[in-house]
Amino acid sequence: MDQEQTVVTESIFPKYTLNEEQERKEILRHYRALLRNLRTKLKPRDKELVRTAFEMSAEAHKTMRRKSGEPYILHPLAVANICVEEIGLGVRSSICALLHDTVEDTDITLEDVEREFGNEIARIVDGLTKISSVIDTNTSQQAENFKKILLTLTDDPRVILIKLADRLHNMRTMDFMKREKQLKISSETVWVYAPLAHRMGLYNIKTELEDLAMKYMEPEAYRDIARRLAETKRERSRYINEFIKPIKDKLDTSGFDFEIYGRPKSIHSIWNKIKKKGVSFDEVYDLFAIRVILNSPPEKEKEECWKVYSMITDEYTPSPERLRDWLSNPKSNGYEALHTTVMGPQGRWVEVQIRTKRMNEIAEKGLAAHYKYKEGSSSEDRFDKWFGQIREVISSQDTDSVDFLQDFKTSFLAEEIYVYTPKGDVKMLPIGSTALDFAFSIHSAIGSKCIGAKVNHKLVPISHKLRSGDQIQIISSNKQKPTEDWLNYVVTAKAKSKIKDALKEEKRRIADDGKYIVQKKLEGMGAGFNQHNIDELVNFYKVPSQLDLFYNVAVKQTDLKELKEFNVLGDKLEAPKPVKPVVEVKTETENKSVASKKESELIIFGESSDKIMYNLAKCCNPIPGDAVFGFVTTGKGLTIHRTNCPNAAQMMANYGHRVVKTKWAKNKEISFLTGLKIVGIDDVGVINKITNVISGEMKVNISALTIESGEGIFEGTVKVFVHDKEELDELTNRLKLLNGIQSVSRFDTEEDK
């Protein structure tokens, strides 16, 4: 080992200054760590290949630095270590990780990689290079590239696993980036990469990605929950020990080989619970889950998990609707476990997860572990089915719009339900799927002719939403045809794609009649039926394409009598005024939006608001003091959103190039409308106390006030005009101090509410 490290040292780092000497040692420390992690997987010649990849990458990146100032080579080394240590990948994947940025960022070509390491590694590096180009391009291009990624994913899943390792390291080391870049990358992570990690079975990575994204998108909430978790750690440990003791005794008595421990829930999942259920941190009971991991032989896994479940539910009362049986029906990403929620000591609900060592490795290492245990298991078939479905949808889709990304999320990254055909075959569909989705999942011809279904022997419409365990029989008719409405009834990408294809085909068929009518009309006027004249008519009637022109003529939406306004010159038709091609106009607009972004890198509201046209987003109603970003909207200038706006993640991930860094300036002259929700004990004069604080003490104008009371509790909403977030926070704190007030929280208001 020492001899090899000396060779590596001399070949890459000839002579170094003191500071460079420290960097050299740091780089070699990471390289040695990689070799240590790979130790059990190295075959003859593998060490030499890894060293070649490391030297190649170090040489290619030697002049490059990261934003933090450290040598760039530390990034590929870190990604390779994540691949091996945290995902469980092997030698080839670590070579690809070392080279993942070389083709895009340095002089090394794909041919160089193929010559040195062969076709397989070159193909994976090519897939990783395509993924990098997803970022910072226009939206349709982004979706197009995303399709390429997914095609490579189904061809070789290692591409996406290495990309997830790359994204995880970037998220861990994002402190030195500009704020707007942090927001964009975090949004993209939450929107695409965390769900993808979840779907690949990498729960630890999914959790860390979500937590890191929240650290940048919701810094205050993140810090607050992290602080509270640290403060309650001792009390939580005491409770976990109290909960575990009787179960541990039972398992010991029964002779099980097991581990049992409490695992804290992620900051992101606690925050989601606080938001969804409208509760405070103190009211979130399931801040942790208890995990029981059994060392069971494969043939006894199921039986022993259920035995442990029986022992736990003998000790603590379970909640029947919270039982999740992923032993009988594993998820398509291979996840197997039993989850239940029981009533623990002190009347607190506690989630318990029961799984074996094999299941636990699959839960933590996902796809990589799944292939390790793949000896003909049915869960392997499920993964392959999932890949097959993705491949089918991508290859048949011709759309290049961002809808593709949305369809992909709802179809392939959502949790699944399990439904049955009349013969008892299992079909996996995303949550929210309808009878029509099921029909298309069987065959596109059956979907296109579907007129209804029988679910559990009851007749239902095609829009009926399915639930796990349903058995479905499709009713079809040869007279049925897909309509525009059908797109509202389906969630799967396959169904949407096939419906759009059918609608286009129908439109083309009708348009053929219109084409004939236009041809006759032009020839009757002495003009030729040629491309130039058709383009002139498309511009004259202001329709998107010639297909739309012919279709509108056929369905009598467009009247050809207006063609008299044209002048006929020979066999050429001349429009009243020259029309610029649509492409030019589009490019111009795009250039303008990019230019305005560069000119106004930092917009200060208040002082410079007269110079820039902007409006406040109705979806989140920002007020001065909120963390905000600007979003360039065509024709409307800049729209200002809060960074925690419900639409922020989607906008930043899909339209990152339109996001502009923004900041508030102090301006006490302008007031902004916002809303507060107040809950408390119903008492005489409660309205008087509330209005006295708002109007009397704080001198804040009230726009509207509604109070509803019942059973001794009142709920009120008040819309007020405040100058900034400081004033709103001050008002919220004063209201909380009133006797009988339980909670005061902000809600997003719209002027038309």
Of 517, 568, 512, 560, nearest to 537 (Cα)? 560
Q: What DSSP designation does 644 have?
A: T
* Least confident range of 2-16, 176-190, 440-454, 634-648: 2-16
Q: What DSSP designation does 296 have?
A: -
Please state, in angstroms and rounded to a whole number, the distance separating the CA atoms of residues 308 and 305. 5
Q: Reply yes or no on domain 414-491 having CATH 3.30.565.10.
A: no
- What would the two tokens of residue 277 be? 């259920």
**Position 699 pLDDT exceeds 60:** yes
Non-local CB neighbours of 364 within 8 Å, separated by 6+ positions: 202, 203, 204
**Position 284 pLDDT exceeds 90:** no
The class (CATH top level) of 226-376 is: alpha beta
Please state, in angstroms and rounded to a whole number, the distance separating the CA atoms of residues 308 and 296. 12
- Burial call 154-164: b when 16+ CB within 10 Å, e when fewer: bebbbbbbbbb
- pTM score of the predicted model: 0.58
**Position 574 pLDDT exceeds 50:** no
pLDDT tens digit sequence for 473-527: 998 888 888 888 898 889 887 888 888 888 888 888 888 888 888 877 776 776 7
Q: Do the domains at 2-176 and 414-491 have one common CATH topology?
A: no
For residue 4, the SS3 value is helix
For residue 679, the SS3 value is strand
* Least confident range of 70-74, 352-356, 519-523: 519-523
- Contact yes or no for 572/533 (Cβ under 8 A): yes
Q: In what order do the strands lie in the sheet with 713-722?
A: 701-710, 713-722, 672-681, 741-747
At residue 384, the pLDDT reads: 59
Beta strand 288-294 with 416-420 is: unpaired
Please state, in angstroms and rounded to a whole number, the distance separating the CA atoms of residues 342 and 351. 6
At residue 439, the pLDDT reads: 92
- Please give the positions annotated as active site: 104-105
**Position 96 pLDDT exceeds 60:** yes
Instruction: Provide the angle, in degrees to the nearest 10, between the axes of the packed helices 119-132 and 139-155.
Output: 150
User: CA torsion, points 485, 490, 493, 496, in degrees to nearest 10?
Assistant: -20
Task: Determine whether 143 is exposed, middle or buried from the number of CB atoms within 10 Å of its CB (0-12, 13-18, 19+).
Answer: buried
E-strand stretches of 360-440:
416-420, 426-430
Beta strand 472-476 with 450-455 is: antiparallel
CA-based torsion, 102, 103, 108, 113: positive or negative: positive
pLDDT tens digit sequence for 150-187: 555 556 677 888 888 999 999 998 888 888 888 888 88
- What would the two tokens of residue 473 be? 């029989």
Non-local CB neighbours of 354 within 8 Å, separated by 6+ positions: 292, 294, 305, 308, 309, 312, 337, 338, 339, 340
At residue 142, the pLDDT reads: 45
**Position 582 pLDDT exceeds 60:** no
For residue 470, the SS3 value is coil
Beta strand 628-633 with 572-574 is: unpaired
pLDDT tens digit sequence for 198-256: 777 788 888 899 999 999 988 888 898 888 888 888 888 888 899 999 999 999 998 89
The distance from CA 11 to its chain's CA centroid, rounded to whole angstroms, is 43
Place of tokens 């949407």: 496
* Least confident range of 16-25, 90-99, 408-417, 500-509: 408-417
Percentage of residues of the chain with pLDDT beyond 70: 76
Non-local CB neighbours of 211 within 8 Å, separated by 6+ positions: 222, 266, 267, 268
Average pLDDT, the chain: 76
Residue spans per domain, the chain: 2-176, 226-376, 414-491, 501-579, 583-664, 672-747
> Containing H/E element for 652?
helix 648-654
**Long-range contact set of residues 426-429: C-beta below 8 Å, sequence gap at least 24:** 426/329, 428/332, 428/382, 428/385, 428/386, 429/466, 429/492
CATH architecture of the domain with residue range 2-176: Orthogonal Bundle (1.10)
- Contact yes or no for 719/673 (Cβ under 8 A): yes
Please state, in angstroms and rounded to a whole number, the distance separating the CA atoms of residues 180 and 656. 9
Length of the chain: 753
pLDDT tens digit sequence for 529-543: 777 777 777 777 777
Specify whether the backbone of 658 is left (phi greater than 0), alpha (psi in -120 to 50) or beta.
alpha
Mean pLDDT of all residues in 16-39:
81
At residue 103, the pLDDT reads: 83
CA-based torsion, 199, 202, 203, 209: positive or negative: negative
Please state, in angstroms and rounded to a whole number, the distance separating the CA atoms of residues 142 and 157. 20
More confident: 177 or 144: 177
Percentage of residues of the chain with pLDDT beyond 90: 10
Q: List alpha helices for 525-643, DSSP H.
A: 531-540, 546-554, 582-599
- What would the two tokens of residue 359 be? 């299941």
- What would the two tokens of residue 22 be? 């420290």
More confident: 165 or 393: 165
CB atoms within 10 A of CB 607: 12
At residue 623, the pLDDT reads: 80
Beta strand 472-476 with 258-264 is: unpaired
Q: What is the CATH number of domain 672-747?
A: 3.30.70.260
**Position 337 pLDDT exceeds 60:** yes
**Position 331 pLDDT exceeds 80:** no
Please state, in angstroms and rounded to a whole number, the distance separating the CA atoms of residues 366 and 332. 11
* Least confident range of 100-109, 214-223, 466-475, 614-623: 614-623
